[in-house]
Structure 1
């Protein structure tokens, strides 16, 4: 097996997604994923704790969210700091990830355990933003409200972005979603 070839993580992600789409999430085993990727089962577990983590990753997004808020200009409002997150996400959500994202959404939609895990992941991202905003001196409830709005805008933007043509920029879509949420809040009175 080619366990010493580069890009093991990406190969495992690609193999897992192919199998999840072809055979279903529940019917796919870690051994099958590793075999499809030309790797060993132990190599799989060096990169992922279980097959769910292929879809949800480690904490890279959580760190990226917090770091983007921390790195926003000092004069940025809480919402402007959240927009910095969307700008930081743009390289992560490039056109090459769109097809994978669309497949990911379909796999998650077909499994209640994965839908629950997705909600937990989204909650952890909002929590990371809340913590970073508090660290910037933003008091509650403003910190948690800005983070929740950012999390909802992210979720809506991601769902919309995977369906758009390849030239649509994720950060632009996310800003549009955030603007729509702000308008809806204003309309609530």
Structure 2
């Protein structure tokens, strides 16, 4: 395939995931990824600044969906309910990635530097969510507390979903874990 072929970014992501699964993250180079995708290494670096970032490209899309979902929640929604609307939107996107998301999780779990990057990206999701809640008129402390708790619940839900491929869709798992969170903080 030539570099003028469509979806170079997607081909690089697919090639990276295949190679990380086949040979491991450490033994895969950006040159290997580019070659598998039928592209030059220079083209790789036009799309991704380093080898790690090919795994985290969807993070921006996740942040955007969550923030848009928070903004679209009913005006009278409580902070955690508004956040839940955003988290469900992000969960729907990740659910659509299916086995790719599960393979990505395994690759990230295998490397300390990738786990660290994942935590940094989740911290960014917390900050973006808190800012979106503040935009809705929620006080800064309540917004940050809601965002921290909600994103933690989202991570628990995602881990459950990854562990049970034949289980319910990710948005449903997110709803269930948020219900557990509500029960923990305000038992009936």
Report if TM-score (shorter chain) is over 0.5: yes
1:102-141 correspondence runs (5 A):
102-141=102-141
Quote the Cα distance in structure 1 between the aligned partners of 2:131 and 2:145.
Answer: 12
Quote the Cα distance in structure 2 between the aligned partners of 1:78 and 1:185.
Answer: 14
Higher helix residue share: 2
Secondary structure in 1 matching 2:185: helix
What root-mean-square deviation, in Å, do the aligned CA atoms of Structure 1 and Structure 2 show?
Answer: 1.9
Quote the Cα distance in structure 2 between the aligned partners of 1:28 and 1:21.
Answer: 10
Gaps of 5+ in 2: none
Query: CA shift at 1:63, angstroms?
Result: 2.0
Secondary structure in 1 matching 2:21: helix
Query: CA shift at 1:17, angstroms?
Result: 0.7
1:21-170 correspondence runs (5 A):
21-57=21-57, 59-95=60-96, 97-165=97-165, 168-170=168-170
Structure 2 match to 1:186:
186
TM-score (norm 1): 0.91
- Report the CA distance shift for 1:7/1:168 in structure 2 as closer, same or farther (over 3 A): farther
Query: CA shift at 1:176, angstroms?
Result: 0.8
Task: Could you list the structure 1 runs, at least 4 aligned residues long, displaced by more than 4 angstroms after superposition.
Answer: none
- Report the CA distance shift for 1:13/1:166 in structure 2 as closer, same or farther (over 3 A): farther
Structure 2 match to 1:14:
14
Cα deviation, 1:33-52, whole Å, max 9, x if unaligned, reads: 01001112122122211111
Query: CA shift at 1:155, angstroms?
Result: 0.8
Quote the Cα distance in structure 1 between the aligned partners of 2:178 and 2:63.
Answer: 19
